[in-house]
């Protein structure tokens, strides 16, 4: 279990050479992108269900063309994945939060949102709750998306493959900002994102089996040892409706042109469209 105390103990810097740095004796981390390369890290441990929290401060200023990705993923062509991606912006324009869920190598379950704050000014907490019944994406403990397990009607759900936590900062100016119309302005490089308080309140997987579930949460998040069955209470549903009404900018379930033969099965069961 990660306790938010030391990135040296919790993650491996996987690419980007000196552009990925652990700072403050292990209490914080930075990723940098320049014209030569981006950078990234991943958790040392694999998890099979859990609650993952991370505080991020995103690239400030003109970050058009850049993507800060923060996600869970297994390995292989039939991998599962639960994504936060933060799509950069021209100065004065808001970030887009791109979310997606992959099962058995297939995604195409995108929802996108604006944030109700500037994510570059200070740290905010981005969380993924993943249990056998559902996946919940949270921002500062406010739910922005719920993806339910609908295996009973034939919809795959990520429930068998352990996943690591990954993050990367990279150049995606072919699509990231206004569909690729706005390119990365390298005169503003290097671009840097900052991380702290990584917490994995999760079942640590060993040889594909769940062997250990942690119970300690970050001090910045209300303690919730019930993530194994966590859903949305009435207040959570109100927040979810608020976010989806005022800040959602794309929902694959509402993209009828994309699915001329009918929406995906899980969309027909969802209460929040």
Tell me the per-residue pLDDT of 196-236, one tens digit each, with 9 for 90 and over.
999 999 998 875 454 555 543 333 333 445 777 788 999 99
What global pTM score does this model have?
0.91
Query: Which one from 46, 55, 75, 85 is the annotated catalytic residue?
Result: 85
Is a pLDDT exceeding 90 seen at residue 187?
yes
Percent over 70 (pLDDT), the chain: 89
Residue 176 vs residue 78, higher pLDDT? 78
Q: What's residue 160's pLDDT?
A: 93
How far, in Å, CA of 99 to CA of 92, rounded?
22
Is a pLDDT exceeding 50 seen at residue 31?
yes
Q: What's the whole-number mean pLDDT along residues 190-198?
A: 97
Q: What's the whole-number mean pLDDT along residues 19-42?
A: 97
- What is the distance in angstroms between the CA of the first residue and the CA of the last residue of the chain? 35
Beta pairing partners, 11:
43
Is a pLDDT exceeding 70 seen at residue 54?
yes
Has 146 been annotated as catalytic?
Answer: no
Has 81 been annotated as catalytic?
Answer: yes
How far, in Å, CA of 23 to CA of 36, rounded?
22
For 154-169, the pLDDT digits (tens) are 999 999 999 999 999 9
Which phi and psi (to 5°) does residue 141 adopt? 70, 10
* 257: Cβ contacts below 8 Å, ≥ 6 apart: none
Q: What's the whole-number mean pLDDT along residues 226-249?
A: 91
Q: What's residue 223's pLDDT?
A: 43
Query: Which one from 81, 146, 150, 266 is the annotated catalytic residue?
Result: 81
């Amino acid at each position: 279990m990660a306790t938010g105390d030391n990135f040296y103990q919790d993650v491996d810097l996987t690419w980007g050479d000196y552009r990925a740095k652990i700072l403050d004796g292990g209490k914080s981390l930075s990723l940098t992108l320049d014209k030569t390369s981006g950078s990234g890290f991943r958790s040392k441990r694999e998890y099979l269900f859990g609650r993952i929290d991370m505080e991020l401060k995103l690239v400030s200023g003109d970050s058009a063309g850049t993507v800060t990705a923060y996600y869970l993923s297994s390995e292989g062509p039939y991998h599962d994945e639960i994504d936060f991606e933060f799509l950069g912006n021209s100065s004065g324009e808001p970030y887009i939060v791109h979310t997606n869920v992959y099962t058995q190598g297939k995604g195409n379950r995108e929802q996108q949102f604006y944030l109700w704050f500037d994510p570059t000014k200070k740290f905010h907490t981005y969380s993924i709750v993943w249990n056998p019944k559902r996946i919940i994406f949270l921002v500062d403990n406010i739910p922005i998306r719920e993806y339910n397990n609908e295996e009973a009607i034939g919809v795959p759900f990520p429930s068998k493959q352990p996943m690591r936590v990954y993050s990367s900062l990279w150049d995606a100016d072919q699509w990231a900002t206004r569909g690729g119309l706005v390119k990365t302005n390298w005169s503003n490089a290097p671009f840097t994102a900052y991380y702290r308080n990584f917490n994995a309140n999760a079942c640590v997987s060993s040889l594909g089996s769940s062997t250990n579930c942690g119970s300690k949460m970050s001090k910045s998040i209300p303690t919730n040892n019930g993530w194994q069955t966590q859903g949305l209470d009435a207040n959570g549903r109100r927040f979810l409706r608020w976010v989806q009404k005022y800040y959602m900018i794309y929902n694959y379930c509402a993209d009828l042109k994309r699915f001329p033969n009918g929406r995906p099965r899980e969309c027909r069961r969802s209460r929040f469209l």
